[in-house]
Amino acid sequence: MLSLLYTRRSVARLVAAMDENIHLEIMDYWKEFSIADCLCLIMVSVRELKVETVHGGGFKDLQKLEVTELIESHMSELTDEELVEMTASIDEIKDADDDSATDETEKLTLEELAEIL
């Protein structure tokens, strides 16, 4: 779940940057992406996790075959439909973030970093 939240936030951030600068190349964006940027995205994603998810609620009935199918479903490349769907859900997250966002950049403290790790 954390990787899903992180991936959505990462792609949303990329889309937002490309919306701001239509001449921005993806490689240039990733070259500027720092470890601090990564840690901030991880921090926001960790805060978004629900307690039930962290403590494994809902996994008691999970069968080995279901886990195998889930892993195999992530082995293939994303289709255009899946990318469009991800972008749509990213837009929803972005809109929600814009509604609650402030102009201040969130700072990651050593205590928060230790809590994440």
Mean pLDDT over each residue of the chain, to the nearest integer: 76
Contact present, 30 and 37 (Cβ < 8 Å): no
Instruction: Give the residue-averaged pLDDT of 51-57.
Output: 59
Among 9-13, 24-28, 70-74, the range scoring the smallest mean pLDDT is 70-74
What is the structure's pLDDT at 46? 84
What is the structure's pLDDT at 19? 92
pLDDT band at 20 (very low <50, low <70, confident <90, very high): very high
Name which residue leads in pLDDT, 60 or 16: 16
pLDDT band at 3 (very low <50, low <70, confident <90, very high): confident
Domain ranges for the chain: 2-116
93 pLDDT above the threshold of 70? no
Instruction: Sort 59 into a burial class: Cβ within 10 Å, 0-12 / 13-18 / 19+.
Output: exposed
Which phi and psi (to 5°) does residue 79 adopt? -85, 170
CA distances from 41 to 13, 76, 77 (A): 9, 25, 23
Residue whose tokens read 């239509």: 22
6 pLDDT above the threshold of 60? yes
Tell me the percentage of the chain whose pLDDT exceeds 70: 68
53 pLDDT above the threshold of 70? no
What is the structure's pLDDT at 49? 76
